Chain A
């Protein structure tokens, strides 16, 4: 009779683990009840490690891949470190998907400029792959992806493949190249890429995700190019304890990021001082 609890996770099994870097792993997961997760690009799940806790993690795979889904997790604390200790076949709890994702219908027939900073690639990858799977529905695709250093680049094989597509423009950058590392692309923060790309402000929508500090600078650069406010779409991070609009932790002024976001149109949040 208690199965209607909004806090009860569903059992799920880790099918595969791909070690990306020292800090990030990609987990391929399937729900034990056999159902597809049924997410939209940009939505997130609450991952439970019983005995440790729960953490909100974006779904990184495209919904077109429906039997399993992928989470890319950086280990920073209790839950995420515990996830990194898991092996293939181990169980995790999943609640969700939660939140409002990217509006794939609205973006149809538009030019999309993806701006991914660091771990921000994780939620955007879901949309990027979705767009590639429905390539004819979308127009010009430009991807800007920046990390602190070359060894922090995620999804390297996939990103390389994006760069080889004739229908896509890819620009990579790192803040700096430490000694002993190789890098053939741009060096500088992600905003240094923006003047290098050509886009039509009437048809282009920028989709942005990255660390909190990144948004202000990216928006400033986009505004310098006169991109209208409502052509900027952002995915935001906040502290979350429930994912279902109750615990209060994710609030930006009166907005609940877990319910009203994490994806926002810039016009919805630009006047909120706590947002960016």
Chain B
């Protein structure tokens, strides 16, 4: 039974937009979103603005949507692996009473940029790997992902160099802004049904398909920041530079604050804690985000800390992104969103800068 559900989720991922393309007028798109908010049983979330920044939050009205955003503070992965999540509920009134908890709020998420869709695909792989984690999988399966191609590029981003500026999969629907209309690529049956049920659309003609293709091709070149070499070289480059003095040099400024971990859509490490209610009768086992840059991350009970030096922790994050997870899962776990770079006070977290420096040193 578990296997079937697993297969279902996998199928969704393999859909490569083989469901055609539609056109929707911008007004009609807003109506579509408002209808979803009003009539669909799922909660509708999307990109909104908040004090000069962009965030994913529940939509009260389609007017709140800001699809021209550059980057959001956190990625939509926060809905599938929340900062705090209950795993178990226990009860001391019985002898041993523990229940698994999986709080799933079915979501329609609107406005996901391609790099974040790729990050979600990567996390799907991580959480379905050998020991499937249904706390993640069920939340993920209950969601509909509506992507949007990038209109404005963040000055910190380098997704173009990471092959993550555009994507042809991992979404249920994908929007491209073409003047007074959106082109909608349909990526799955779920997406197709949603359109059929709620949206007023017309067929996209060949010109539209070509226009979308042109826009997509153009996006890659809009990134000011670029890796000076092919991202495919990263695993080898990192392997060769394990002992590079750059780690030590940069890490001298590191505050061990973990911000670079917490904002990253491909960081998924967690801590587990038991929180007992004040009545001392019941409680919950929760998981919370954790970060490998934090000082105690690898410390064991006897006091031994296996990554005690800042430089070792600093290096570990880059190694993980560009080599360790690649070796294990076959993807480079950095999609170039630049969130880490923009959240690091001493300005040492930027993978693009670090990777380019490593490459320079070699040459």
A51 touches B92 (CB 8 A): yes
Contact B98 A9 (CB under 8 A): yes
Q: Is B80 an interface residue (CB 8 A)?
A: no
Let me know if A201 is at the binding interface, CB within 8 A. Answer: no
Q: A5-B134, A51-B283, A254-B323 are in contact. Are A247 and B298 (CB under 8 A)?
A: no
CA distance A269 to B38 in the complex (A): 57
Chain B CB within 8 A of A180 CB:
no
Q: Confirm or deny: B10 has a beta carbon within 8 angstroms of a beta carbon on chain A.
A: no
A2 neighbours in B (Cβ, 8 Å): 99-102, 134
B90 part of interface (Cβ distance < 8 Å): yes
Cα distance A174–B100 in the bound complex, in angstroms: 46
For window 40-99 of A, CB contacts with B under 8 Å fall at 48, 50-55, 76-77, 80, 91-93
For B302, give its contact among A5, A211, A244 (CB under 8 Å). Answer: A211
The answer to the question of A239 belonging to the interface, with a C-beta cut-off of 8 Å to chain B, is yes
B126 and A246 form a contact (CB under 8 A) = yes
> By the criterion CB–CB under 8 Å, are B272 and A11 in contact?
no
- List residues of chain A with CB within 8 A of the CB of B92: 50-51
Instruction: Determine how close the nearest CB of chain B comes to the CB of A95; give it in whole angstroms.
Output: 11
- Given contacts A50-B92, A51-B276, A254-B323, are A246 and B127 in contact (CB under 8 A)? yes
Q: Is A221 an interface residue (CB 8 A)?
A: no
Residue in contact with A253 in the complex, picked from B99, B134, B135, B319, CB distance below 8 Å:
B319
Using Cβ atoms and an 8 Å threshold, which residues of chain B touch A16?
none
Q: Using an 8 Å CB-CB cutoff, how does the interface string of B62-105 with A read, 1 for contact, 0 for none?
A: 00000000000000000000000001101010011011111000
Interface pair A241/B300, CB less than 8 Å apart: no
Instruction: Given A238-B306, A241-B272, answer yes or no on A249-B297 (Cβ-Cβ < 8 Å).
Output: yes
Q: How far is the CA of A7 from the CA of B102 in the complex (A)?
A: 11
Question: Contact at B324–A251, with CB atoms within 8 Å?
Answer: yes
The verdict on A222 contacting chain B, using a C-beta distance below 8 Å, is: no
A12 CB to nearest chain B CB (Å): 8
Chain B residues, Cβ within 8 Å of A228: none
User: In the complex, what residues of B have CB within 8 A of residue A273's CB?
Assistant: 242
Interface set, chain A 187-246, CB cutoff 8 A to B: 211-212, 237-239, 241-242, 244-246
Contacts of A50 in B (CB 8 A): 88, 90, 92, 96, 98, 274, 283, 285
> A163 on the interface (CB 8 Å rule)?
no
Q: Does A252 contact B (CB under 8 A)?
A: yes
Task: Tell me if B131 and A8 are in contact (CB < 8 A).
Answer: no
Return the contact of A245 from the options B130, B287, B302, B316 (Cβ within 8 A): B130
Give min CB distance, B300 to chain A, whole Å. Answer: 5
Q: How far is it, in angstroms, between the C-alpha of A254 and the C-alpha of B298 when the chains are bound?
A: 14
Check B274–A52 contact: CB distance below 8 A. yes
Stretch of B172-180, B200-208, B263-271, B349-357 with 4 or more beta carbons under 8 angstroms from chain A: B263-271
Question: Given the complex of chains A and B, what is the CA–CA distance between A273 and B102 in angstroms?
Answer: 39
B53 to chain A, nearest CB (A): 27
User: How distant is the Cα of A54 from the Cα of B179 in the complex, in angstroms?
Assistant: 56
Fill in one digit per residue for A10-53: 1 if any B CB lies within 8 Å of its CB, else 0.
Answer: 01000000000000000000001000000000000000101111
- CB pair B272 A8 closer than 8 Å: no
Give A93 to B92 CA distance when docked, in angstroms: 13
Q: Does B2 sit at the interface, judged by CB under 8 A?
A: yes
Contact (A238, B298) CB under 8 Å given A2-B100, A5-B134, A246-B127:
yes
A274 CB-CB contact with B under 8 Å: yes
Q: Is A259 an interface residue (CB 8 A)?
A: yes
Roughly how many angstroms separate A50 CA and B274 CA in the complex, as a whole number? 7
The answer for the CA separation of A119 and B302 in the assembled complex, in Å, is 12
Q: Which residues of the other chain, A, contact B327 by a CB distance below 8 angstroms?
A: 254
Q: A21 CB to closest chain B CB, in angstroms?
A: 16
Query: B140 → chain A, closest Cβ, in Å?
Result: 14
Q: Which of B279-329 contact A (CB under 8 A)?
A: 283, 285, 287, 290, 292, 297-302, 304, 306-307, 312, 316, 319-320, 323-325, 327-328
**Contact yes or no, A238 B300, CB < 8 A:** yes
Report A-chain residues with C-beta under 8 Å of the C-beta of B316. 251
Closest to A254 in B: B324
- B163 on interface, CB distance cutoff 8 Å: no
* CB proximity of A242 to chain B, nearest CB, Å: 7
Contact B101 A241 (CB under 8 A): no
- The verdict on A179 contacting chain B, using a C-beta distance below 8 Å, is no
B299: chain A residues within 8 A (beta carbon): 239
Chain A contacts of B306 at CB under 8 A? 212, 238-239, 252, 274
Residues of A contacting B126 in the complex (Cβ-Cβ under 8 angstroms): 246
**In the complex, which residues of chain B have a beta carbon less than 8 angstroms from the beta carbon of A248?**
268-270, 290, 292
Chain A residue nearest to B243 (CB atoms) is A273
B301 pairs with A254, CB closer than 8 A: no
Q: B285, A239: Cβ atoms under 8 Å? A: no
Given contacts A7-B285, A8-B98, A259-B130, contact A249 B302 (CB under 8 A): no
Which residues of B lie under 8 Å from residue A76 when comparing CB positions? 301-302
A4 within 8 A of B: yes
Instruction: Report the nearest A residue to B273, measured CB to CB.
Output: A53
- Taking the closest CB of chain B, its distance from the CB of A30, in whole angstroms, is 13
Quick one: CB contact mask for A241-276 with B, threshold 8 Å, 1 for yes? Answer: 110111111011110000100000000000001100
A residues neighboring B (CB under 8 Å):
2-9, 11, 32, 48, 50-55, 76-77, 80, 91-93, 211-212, 237-239, 241-242, 244-249, 251-254, 259, 273-274
Q: List 20 A-B contacts (CB under 8 A).
A: A3-B100, A7-B135, A8-B88, A8-B99, A11-B95, A50-B274, A50-B285, A51-B276, A51-B283, A76-B302, A77-B301, A80-B301, A212-B304, A239-B306, A242-B270, A246-B127, A247-B270, A248-B268, A248-B270, A249-B269
> Given A11-B95, A241-B270, A248-B269, 4 other A-B contacts at CB below 8 A?
A5-B100, A8-B100, A247-B290, A248-B292
The 9 closest A-B pairs by CB, nearest first: A248-B269, A254-B324, A5-B100, A91-B96, A2-B100, A50-B90, A244-B131, A11-B96, A8-B100
